[in-house]
Structure 1
Amino acid sequence: MVKIVGSLRFCGNEIAGSMEFSKRETLMDEKIYVAVTGKDLESKSSLVWAIQNTGGKDFCIVYVHQPIQFSVTGTMFHDKKLRLYTKGKEKIQKNLDKYLNICRKMQVNAEKLYIEMDSVEEGILQLISQRGVRKLVMGAAAERHYSMRMRDLQSKKAIYISREAPDTCHIWFTCNGYLICSREARSGDNLYLECASSSSLSQTDITRNTQSVPSLSIVNYDDRIKEAVTEAENLKREVRFEAFKREEAENSAIDAIKKAKQSESVYLEELKQGNETEKALSKAKEELEKMRIESDTRIGESNMVIRKLQCNYSLSMKALIRLREEQEELKIELREVSKLKSKREEEETSFSKDREPPEYFICPITQDIMEDPHVAADGFTYEGDSISGWFERGHETSPMTNKRLPHTSLVPNLALRSAIQEWLQASSS
């Protein structure tokens, strides 16, 4: 980048005035744009590097935000997105204010610029074109990708901007507080070369003429003074940055002390709880020991009972075996008895069959041997009392045929009675 200080005046063959070319002074005078992201540490390292190394006094902190796309349908979902958008925007503004505070502490002028655009790359390119940005500092890659051997761009956004940005813009690409690479402004370099050649021609013309001009040593001396001033300012910025870092370290130390005190109180509380827990554990151990002793006593008693039961069981088993043997003997005896009984029953049955009375000795009503047999009108013989009772109860039918009888008169069956008496006498003898 080139800035011409002074004026050119042509008077015939004479040249009055002076021309000075200084890239360093250009860096100090022009505004430097620093592109930041949503990641606080990466953006902070890029900003601090720009303040310390570019030599600029005026900075513009740029954040390109990709807005949330709202849909027409779904009111609740729309409200949720709106709340997230508002919350995210507030967080971004707080971060930008934090970066401005860093610039104030390092005694440089700064402003913030918030841009909403669907594409971050296009937003930065549009900013360069509209504002004529000539100096830009941005990230080369995420800090997690940084290494000491890193020399090329890894971020797609950085690669795209390096390729598409206007040639008039000088871009520094940093990562983790280190310069990775830079893209020089081509048109500015050409202008510098042209002005440098014009300067050499002017010196030749001045040498040829008799006019007095400032010597090259004076110009070099002025350059050295400016370089010394710039270095002093850089050192001053570094001192301010170190003071800022020291202040941050002190704040961190204060926070650490607070956390240590909190940790100490928490430790004391935990220690107290530990003592209480230890007491509770000792008490629980005593109770467990007491329970163990009681359990051992009960187990001993149970073992004695078990031994007694085992002894009783063995005796019971012996008695059971003896009972089974006796039962087997009884079964054998019962089988013998049952055989004898069945044999006797057979004998009694055969005897009873031999002594059974004839069927005509049996009364059809009483089913017993008749003592006073009588003949009814149906021709059947009945016990006299039984058939008389039949008629007295109002029956006029035959007990055998159930037919109506012509009369209820009865005739004694003397022959049958004599036969029955003879059979009875024979059976009893």
Structure 2
Amino acid sequence: MEAGDGQSPPRLVNDRVYVAVGSDVQESKSTLLWALQNFGGHFRILHVHQPPEDDNDRNHLNPPRCRGHGAAGHDSRTVNQSYGYGARTPQELARQNMDKILDEYIRICNQTGVPAEKRYIEMQDIGKGIVQLIEEHAIEKLIMGAAADKRYFVGMAQLKSKKAIFVNQQADPSCYIWFICKGQLIHVREGDLNTFDMDVPPSSVSVNSAAESGSQNLRSPIGSSALSRSNSSEVEDDRSLVWIARGQRIHHKSESSSGPSLKPSDELSCEPPTPFCALEGSNDELYKQLDRAMAEAAKAKREAYEEWINRQEAEKNAIDANRRVIALQEELRRRNGLEESLAKEKEALEMTKNQLDELQMLLENALKVNEDLLTSQASEPLTANQQDFLSEFSFSEIMEAINSFDPSLKIGEGEYGSTYKGFLCNILVTIKLLSQGSSQYHQEVHTASKLRHPNLVNLIGVCTEAWTLIYEYLPNGSLEDRLCCVGNTAPLSWQTRVCICMETCAAVIYLHYHSGIAHGDLEPENILLDTNFLPKLIKSGLSCEPTAGERSFASDVYSFGLIILQLLIGKSALSLKETVQDSFILENLKDLLDPTAGHWPFEQARELAHMALRCCDINPSNRPELKSEVWPVLEQMRILSEDSSSNWSGPEEPSQPPPYFICPIYQEIMQDPQVASDGFTYEAEAIRGWFTSGHDTSPMTNLQLANLDLVPNQTLRSAIQDWLQDHEP
């Protein structure tokens, strides 16, 4: 049916899909995959091979001058000497490489269950080569690239490569062309089967195959028709599909004709036409016979075409069925594999449960043995090593120091006894008289011998006569007293509170990760502050053994979260967590922050409060790790407080330097602060002396250092210098 009759254009009869590909598989792979996803049937991989220039051809075009002859000539030995007998020419090597590339495209098609063959031509101009292949193979469906993938952009709707533009303009009008770039459809060129040239019978199609060329070394000039590598029978096979449709259209034309008169161009069919000039003047019977013959021929062609369509549909259905069978087989193998894996996992789970039961029994036995050992150690007197760092005092010296239990010197009353302050050897100390006898005494002494950390209150002496312990005295009292401003003391600044959080966290990390014990009684009244407001935990009640239940690592994390909330808000721990949780919901945390601490950096305070609430989570397994999650947040807060320290003087002691100006080793204001790999800042001379004396652990945590590198803390050094200038006498 003619397109001008208002009907839809005739259906494409050639079910073969041609995909033009280049020598770069990765570049053209997206075009091929697009075709495989959107088309079925038989695939033909189309390629224009650009042969390299042959030295023999150059010699033929520009013959060298033979030595000794004095004139232009060409010695036959020249070619043989160029490659040697049996050697491969560059053209042969190039074709061999081309075959490998095309085989890779065929392999991609076969992996998806689509049969494919290759068609190619040798020509220097790729665009002209594609156009010639379209003509030779009567191509009706062609997929090719619109541009290089690297030139693709979102919304691209125009052809960008010169060869794509040339093919779009010069290809036979009957050919449908889909132009693809980076797996995206860019442009569609619709074809029209009515535009086929009907004057050339199939037998007259010219195919320049390699066999017909007569020589493998023939070469056409660039831009002219080049050597086709497609077999002539393949071209004839492609052409035959089109001649079926051509005959069918001619039949439609003859049926729609209004008169008996026919032009020569209207009576062509798949067979060589009968010249109409011989029929001029014939009677009507001849015309009728001719019409019947043409109708029968058209019917036969239609039946052949329908048979071909049915065969193609059957092949497609067979391919689809084969794909489904393969998919079902793969799914069956996958399920069988899962069942085998599940069986193995069940077996492994049983083994794990058995091992867990055995380990639980071993742990219970080890805890029992350890408990018995600790009990025996607690009942033993002081060892030689313990005597090395503990001073022994007599009961008379103790009574003199506390002025015979002077009530004015009493600073505390607890579960284990009374606490006084007094002078021993001209040093102000804390004296704790135990009321429970030797058991508690030996336990605390044993604990003190194991735990030595800058943020733990140090035991400096004992009195075995009266079960008395002598600790260092911390003049600024407990954190509880300072938060309540007992004695009208100045409130703690937010910078000092951040420092207290970080130093307390360091002490708890030491207990958990280095000593393997929990504090069990972590609260503000058990955190004492020294002259520089550095916190130190009271070790009373600690035991050197793994703990569980209430006195566990998780309970220490919970208590630490409450301490952070108290430092933020300045209130007691009663209903404190619920208050902060409500503030997050109501977005009024800023109103809850303790105003006496100064101007909190709100975002950092919010992050600190959020972390504290995580520590107070009702589910212990949801609480964060102090070392890996809490410590980095406090480190960032410390850096922020250091940055603001140059314009800040603590409200509690204006004449005293901020605590982070003091070297943890020398206990003096640092001149050259250096940051070690444990995150603490030390005086350069002090930390280097620590390393040269053979230490590779942190002076603050006693943990192994990742390295011995030092980084200058220029920000802190500048802040110290500014503070010293402002406080010069």
Fold shared per TM-score above 0.5: no
Question: What range is the shorter-chain TM-score in?
Answer: 0.3 to 0.5
Q: Greater helix percent: which structure?
A: 1
Higher Cα radius of gyration: 1
